[in-house]
Structure 1
Amino acid sequence: MWRTAATIAFRSLRWQDEVYLPDLNSRITVLDSEDRLITHLGEDQQAYKQQGWPNLPKSYYRPDKFSSPHGVCVDSQGNVYVAEWISDGRVTKLVRQS
C-alpha cells in the first residue's frame, strides 16, 4: 500500500485518528487508526518512475502533485504541510476543506 515513509504525522480527533505518511510512491498516504486507507494526497504515479527522480526538472512539477515527499506535519485545523526532497526543495501547504 505504501513504501518508505521518512516521517509520520498523527492527528487525533474525537471521532477518528489519522496517520499521515510521506510515501515515496509520490504521494501522502492517510490511514485511520486501524491502518485502513482514507485517501492519497497529491498522488503522481509517474513521478518516481521518471529518469533522474527525485531530481526532476522544474518543468515537471505541478502544484497539486508530489514527486518525493519526505516530511509531513498537520496543524490543529487539519492543514497538511509537506516537505519534498527535490533538487530545489519544496514545501507545500494543503488547506483542509470542511
Structure 2
Amino acid sequence: MSVSADRRLRPCSKVRGNLSVPGDKSISHRALMLAAVARGTSRIAGLAPGEDVRSTRRLLERAGTVLRDEDEALVVEGRGWRTLDQDDPASVLE
C-alpha cells in the first residue's frame, strides 16, 4: 500500500488495536531451551515458524521434554536441568 505525498494525518487522542509481529528465530530457540530446563510449566506464544525452530523442538522432545500445542502457543513442561535424557546423548542428535 502506498501513501500519497499529499495525504494529511491528523493527531488523535487514542490508538486502539492489536499488533502481532512474527517471532524472532534466536529468541524462539532460547525460549524453548530455557523452558525445557526450567522447573514448571512455560507457555510460549509467537514462536518463529522456521524449520530450525521445529528441529529444536524435536531435539528437546527426544531428550525427554514434554511439549504440546495449546491455543496458539506451545506449552513446555520443564523438569529442571538434570532431567533431560542423559542415558544416550548421541541418540538425541540422530
TM-score (norm 1): 0.24
Flag the structure with higher strand content: 1
Structure (1 or 2) with the larger CA radius of gyration:
2
Flag the structure with higher helix content: 2
